Structures are given as C-alpha cells and as structure tokens.
Chain A
C-alpha cells in the first residue's frame, strides 16, 4: 500500500462527498433561517438536468465555457424550483414538511420529463482550474486535480460558516431563525430574508445535482442522484447546524461510503453487504439520538425551524 493507493482512495472520497456537501451547505443556510426544506432531492435533480441540458445545447457555441454556463444554469434552476416551495410556505403559510416532500417528488418527476430527450447523450466536463502540470501530477493531483465544483464546495462551506458567524447579515439571518417574532419587532424583513435563504439553498442544491450529471458521470439518467438529497438533509442535523461540523460530517459520510466499496472489493465480507450500505444512515440515526439528548448539547436546532411565520396571528 503505497502513497498512490491513499491518493486514489482520497480522490474517490472527495468525489463521493462533494455533491452532498454542496446540498447540505445550502440547506444549512435555509434551516438557520428557520425554514425546513425537505425538497433537496428534487432541487438537485432539476439542477442536474438543467446543467446537463444547457451544457449540451450551448456546447458548440461556447466551447470550453459551456460547463460553466451549465453550472450557472443549474444554480438558477435550483433556486427557481425552491421559489415554488418558498411561495407556498412563506406567503401562503403551508406546512413546510408536506410542501418540501411535494417539491422533492415534483422535482424528480419534472427532471425526468425534461431529461427524457437527453438520455444517451454525453457532455464534456469542466476543464481543471489548475495547470495540467499540477492537476495531472501523480502526487499533487490530490490537491489540485479536482473538478472546479469541488473547490467551489469547499469555498462555500467556509464562506457560509464565516457569513453566519462573523457578519452582521449572518447574525440577522440566525436571529430570524431563532426568534422570528422578535426579529420582526425590531424591523427586520423576516419573510424577505427567508426567501433569500431558500433561494440560496436551492441554488447550491442545484449545483450539487449538476455535480452528478456533469462531473461524476457526464450523462443524464433519471433519478441519478439516487437519494443523496436525503443524506444531505440528515447531514445538516448530524452536524448540529454548524458549518465546521458539516464539513467534517460530510467527509465522514464520504469515507464510510467509500470504505464500504473498498471493503467489498478487498474481500472483507465478514459483514453482509447490505449492512455496509446502511452504515451512513445508521450513523446518522446514532448521531441524531446523541444530539437530541438535551443534556448533551441542548437543542441546537434553530428555534423556529419548521414553524410558519404569521406575525398577525
């Protein structure tokens, strides 16, 4: 087992983790503002199909820049689909859990409909942002050889963490999530802030979805996110709504999922394979149980999570 082995394994882990990290980071902001958006899976798929379609259709015109436009389109599509959820939940006051689930199902269906004509096609993936000498180097590719979306994801986690904890705007967002009525009394536009947060969450979920259709496997296949949106949701809770822990948790999940594959491929079949597949979910449940015990951490969830904001009620 030489260094090359570990580098290859790490690269696989990063590939598995990044889409979940993107979606979870977006959802972190949404939940910090007090809204529970369960529709991540749907938004990811809409982002995936849109990113793919735009890259494919504008590929000949834009050449190398096509994937970047695709990524941008995926973000916009994800944000747009989350706006549907936002209107229902914020302006019309509908139940967040039910509406979120509906968005997930809607997204799965809509993406399949849009994508029906794109099956069997391939798109070129992103060009690396680093020069080939670094990106292709056997040793340094572990740092420089990734798709731009990987660096974007890492950047976003740090940016969101910094935003939430060190800026005034982030403080206001957290206030809206902790006590919306007080924030409203002080004069902050609670609904507008939540709209912005939901849009941001949708955009990142869209980019997370685009990672599937444009980086891991540059093609479109129905439901290709295969449940990663739900893992992202569990991850936000697992992380205790903290960006730093989100990053660690995401990579923990990624390592577990990759470990499963390595264990199987190397012949460590002392555990049934289905157990390995269930590991990330089991870990999430264990973490949730620990976090939920009030003595351990108190409830770290934003106090208004999932509750509609009805100032005149």
Chain B
C-alpha cells in the first residue's frame, strides 16, 4: 500500500506548517536595551527616585520587548563619559541621561556611538542621535507659589535652590510670581547651596531661612531635609519631585511630582517601531509629565480651590505664570503686560523677578 494517502499528506502538511512557527520562536527579536544614567541614588525619594519610577513603569509596560538598566551616583563631570560609553558598549540602544550636568558628556559619548540614541534631560544641546526632554517644572511652582502666597503669615517665603541654572531660576521666578499674584507684598528669600544633595547643608540653609522670617519654604534640592526642618520649626514646606509627606506630616502641604513613566514608554515605543528622531520635548501638566501630590489637611478650602484652578487652567492652556507685566530685580520691565514669555527665553533665564532677594 502506498504511504502517500490523503491522510498522510494532510499530516505531513500540518507538520510542515508548524515549522515556521517553531523557527520564529527560535529567532525571536532581541529585546531593546534601554539604559539610564542617574545623578543620585534611587533611594533619594526625590529627583532620581522619580526617574527610577519612570524606568520601572517602562520595564513593566513593555515587558519582554524592553530590558532596562541603570547606573546610580554618576557625577556631573568627565567621569560620566566612561559610564555612558560603557552602557553603549553593553548594547543599550536608547540611553537617558537624567541631569543637566551631563550635557556635554552626552554629546561627547553620542559622537562615538552614532547608532545609539541618547536623550538628555533638561539640557539644550542636540545632535542627530541626541534629543532633549524637559518638564515644565515651573507649572508646579506656580501651584505651590499660589499656596505659599495665601498661607504665609509673615509675607516672606523661602526658596532653597541648588545652582543658578535656567531650570532653577524659572522655578524661583514662577514661585514668586504666583505668590505675588495672591499677595503683592510677598518677598522670596533665596539661598543657592551649590549642590543638588547635601542633607546637612540643606537643613542648615532651611534653618537660616526660617531664622530670617520665612514661614513657607520651597526647595529645589534632592533630599527631604528641608521638610524635616520645617516640621521641627512648625512652618510649611513643599516636596520636590515626589511626595515627601512621610518626612513632614504637618509641614508638607503638597509636592510637585515628576511623572516620567509615560514619556519613557513613548520613547521606547518610538525606538521599537523605528520612528525615533532627535527632538526637543518640553512637556508639562497637560501631557501628564507633572502632577501634584494630595493636599495636607492644613490647607484650607479656599487655598485648595485657588490651587486647583491654577492646575485646571494650566492644563487647559489658559494660564501661564510667565505672563507680563514682569520686572526684574532692578525694576526694569522684562515682559510687557499681557505678553507670554516664549520658551526660548525661558530656557536661558538667568535673572530673577522683582521680589526675589538673592
């Protein structure tokens, strides 16, 4: 009897059809390797912690397609270049460098690894394979400035900053302008401590601000030390980058939250479908990159309402804190009445508004 019966033919054909499927699982696509360069420790409960939450969100959302890795505590000097090159050599094809001070190093490393895509956070230098991304942190400052202006009894609010770079300057100015909008006599005392992270110095600076009459203090530094001082001195403060209320249950009024997850997921997807290109992203509340933490119960209803309105108007695009008239510390008018400052001017801002005592 011939073996070539219809039944045998069907069996063989069915077996034959499964082969390509088996072959495909054997030659499955390598997952995309995404690397992250962090300034601080993932446990700082602030800047780096937020990026880490974003990375985890990415790893979860695109599990199987994406593999992520990170390097912590990378200093903002030449020593960052070998770290970046190392990540590139390990096969990472998309690398996020998460601090302003990595700007030149990213450009340098990108030259040597043209097939790796680099994204630099809060910078302004670009290349074909280097894009930048930034968050409109100042929108969060406008919200907390409004709250500070309404809740300050002394009329003096404090700002503990790190370096005089546009990102921080924008924050100081937005904070002050929003506070002045509710209390025109508000003055902001500013201390720049020339470091992103030094809890003891942050605490000493916060104490100094409190000693000099500030009863609400905002910060642009990476540890909750300021809030601990505010709690001890029974004044108010705000978390930066993450909800820091556990460190100051009475003093922590709210916090601006950096929500990097959606952005990282989107960029990884762009890599996966090949549509990535160097860009200059500056997203804010509307795009979901920035959020606010729940209000402390010490915040009265009218203050909540005012803050909520700012948030809603910001998302709708009808409120922009950098709307004129704005004068600088010498009194000269920099922005005319009704005019909105343009992005390109904001990104190089190096002057403080009237009312900031720096």
Where the two chains meet, the residues of A that have a C-beta atom closer than 8 Å to any C-beta of B are 5, 8-9, 11-12, 15-16, 19, 112, 115-116, 119-120, 122, 212, 216-219, 221-226, 228, 257-258, 261-262, 264-267, 269, 273-274, 277
Question: Ordered nearest first, which 9 A-B pairs have the shortest CB separation?
Answer: A119-B43, A8-B211, A226-B198, A261-B208, A217-B225, A222-B41, A267-B357, A217-B199, A264-B191
- When A217-B199, A217-B223 are in contact, do A119 and B207 touch as well, CB less than 8 Å? no
Complex contacts, B210 vs chain A, CB 8 Å: 8
- When A119-B45, A217-B228, A226-B195 are in contact, do A265 and B212 touch as well, CB less than 8 Å? yes
Q: How far apart are the CA atoms of A115 and B41 in the complex, in Å?
A: 11
Sample of 13 A–B contacts (CB below 8 Å): A9-B211, A15-B203, A119-B41, A212-B199, A217-B203, A217-B225, A222-B73, A223-B41, A226-B197, A261-B191, A261-B204, A265-B158, A266-B357
Name the residue on A nearest B198 (C-beta): A226
B43's partner among A116, A228, A257, A266 (CB-CB below 8 A) is A116
Contact present for A16 and B200 (CB under 8 Å): yes
SS class, residues of chain A in contact with chain B = helix
Complex contacts, B204 vs chain A, CB 8 Å: 12, 15-16, 216, 257-258, 261
Q: How far apart are the CA atoms of A9 and B205 in the complex, in Å?
A: 11
* Closest beta carbon of chain A to B231's beta carbon, Å: 10
Q: How far apart are the CA atoms of A212 and B223 in the complex, in Å?
A: 13
Complex contacts, A19 vs chain B, CB 8 Å: 200
- For chain B, the count of residues having a C-beta within 8 Å of the partner chain is 38
* Closest beta carbon of chain B to A33's beta carbon, Å: 29
* Closest beta carbon of chain B to A145's beta carbon, Å: 12
Name the residue on B nearest A119 (C-beta): B43
Contact present for B41 and A112 (CB under 8 Å): yes
Please encode chain B, from 148 to 191, with 1 for each CB lying within 8 Å of some chain A CB and 0 for all others: 00000000001000001000000000000000000000000111
Whether, in the assembled complex, B18 has its beta carbon less than 8 Å from a beta carbon of chain A, the answer is no
| Interface residue ranges of B226-285 to A (CB < 8 Å) | 228, 246-247
Whether, in the assembled complex, B350 has its beta carbon less than 8 Å from a beta carbon of chain A, the answer is no
Contact present for B190 and A216 (CB under 8 Å): no
- When A9-B211, A267-B358 are in contact, do A221 and B246 touch as well, CB less than 8 Å? no
Q: How far apart are the CA atoms of A5 and B207 in the complex, in Å?
A: 12
* Closest beta carbon of chain B to A72's beta carbon, Å: 22
Q: Which of A119, A224, A265 has the most CB of B within 10 A?
A: A265
| Interface residue ranges of B35-56 to A (CB < 8 Å) | 40-41, 43-45
Complex contacts, B194 vs chain A, CB 8 Å: 273-274, 277
Contact present for A216 and B45 (CB under 8 Å): no
